Amino acid sequence: MMGAMARKPVAREAVLDAFESLLIAEGERAATLDAVARLAGVSKGGLLYHFPNKEAMIAVLLERLDRLLAEDLDAMAAAPEGAAAYFIRSSVWADTPLDRVFVAATRLAEVAHAETQRRMAGVQESWLALLAADVGPTMAKPVLYMGDGLYFNAMLARGPGETTVGLAGDVEALVAAVERLRG
């Protein structure tokens, strides 16, 4: 029988959200412990109370990624429009919780964070399997790469946000292309 939490750990989620936001907006380099603590409205000491080091923050962020991704894979498999069309539409930046962790994780993979790279590779495989079931094994990769290209462009063109409008217009062209590839 433990002494029950005295107060709710409000700072914990705030820190994680701040870490995610900084990764998205400015990349790994800008996501220093100080910057994260400041954005979260928490002292640096408070941050380190919850996460003994930066690696621990990353680990919990990757857990969040796994959780949200599992949900999305279910939705993708069950999508009435088909997994491929669902995938393309969801590849455009929409500021959903999944989009946010995914981009944050990409920022970590970019700087060669090994564990993150491993997880991301697993994600790609999961997507590919569902795409293959929808459009066939030979056209699965073309579709996968189209979606990835969408993400890639959104991220390069000054982080996600600005370019949303421009890219959103491309989605229909991509969905049309996917229909043409199907079979």
Closer to a copy of itself by Cβ: residue 9 or 149: 149
* Residues forming the site for DNA (CB under 7 A): 1-12, 31-35, 41-50, 52-55
Per-position b or e across 99-122, b if 16+ CB within 10 A of its CB: bbbbbbbbbbbeeebeebeebbee
Cβ-contact 36, 19 below 8 angstroms = yes
Task: Tell me how far apart the alpha carbons of residues 181 and 183 are, in angstroms, rounded to a whole number.
Answer: 7
Angle between helices 83-91 and 164-181 (to 10 degrees): 160
**Partner touching 115 among DNA, a copy of itself, none, CB below 5 to 8 Å by kind:** none
Closer to DNA by Cβ: residue 98 or 105: 105
Write down the H helix ranges in 4-156.
10-26, 33-40, 44-50, 54-78, 83-91, 97-110, 114-135, 137-156
Q: Is 157 near a copy of itself (CB under 8 A)?
A: yes
Closer to DNA by Cβ: residue 13 or 71: 13
Q: From the CB of 67, what's the least distance to a copy of itself, in Å?
A: 21
Q: Candidates 6-14, 54-62, 72-80, 150-158 — which segment interacts with a copy of itself by CB under 8 A?
A: 150-158
Q: How many CB atoms lie within 10 A of CB 74?
A: 10
Closer to DNA by Cβ: residue 28 or 134: 28
**Partner touching 108 among a copy of itself, DNA, none, CB below 5 to 8 Å by kind:** none
Residues that bind a copy of itself (CB under 8 A): 25-30, 106-107, 109-112, 114, 117, 120-121, 124, 138-139, 141-142, 144-153, 155-159, 170, 173-174, 176-177, 180-181
